[in-house]
Amino acid sequence: MKKSLVVITILVAALVFIAACTKSTTVSNGKPIASTTVNNLTATLSNSSGQLKTGDQEVTLAFTDSSGKNVDVGAVSLNFHMPAMGGMAAMNDAVTLTTTATPGVYSGKVNISMAGEWQGQLAFEGPAGKGKATFSVTAR
């Protein structure tokens, strides 16, 4: 009786562990915030809500070809730029991007300093060549 309880406890612990592992390694693209075409690829920015907000947050940036397959683009940079307006200086909030287990899918962290319209300035260089694009996103 005692022994079977221990076995069950270990089994449950193992299942929880597997679930936790699966969750962290599975790339969840969430809901799209914005997407843009770069060369022959589509770059999609997403997060859990599909909405860029102010403050610290995590986003996912994924590159796909016309068939929807993830494409590794090598080194990527994404900066959110807001031009100067009125008495406010231009603002730049760069996204810190890291690769994930899935080539072509990048995990990003950014601190959006204010609500309003931002220009996403995207660039990459690597196995898929060189690409550059800008797209607009409204942070709420």
Binding-site string for Cu ion from residue 53 to residue 82, where x marks contact by CB under 5 A and - marks none: -----------------------------x
Shortest CB 51 distance to Cu ion, Å = 18
DSSP annotation of 50: S
Which is it for strands 75-82 and 129-139: parallel, antiparallel or unpaired?
Answer: unpaired
Q: Which amino acid is it at 80? A: F
Angstrom distance (rounded) from CA 132 to CA 52: 21
Nearer to Cu ion, 34 or 91 (CB): 91
Binding-site string for Cu ion from residue 77 to residue 116, where x marks contact by CB under 5 A and - marks none: -----x--------x----------------------x--
The reply on whether position 123 binds Cu ion by CB under 5 A is: no
The reply on whether position 34 binds Cu ion by CB under 5 A is: no
Angstrom distance (rounded) from CA 59 to CA 109: 6
Shortest CB 79 distance to Cu ion, Å = 14
Residue 89: how many CA atoms within 13 Å on its side-chain side? 4
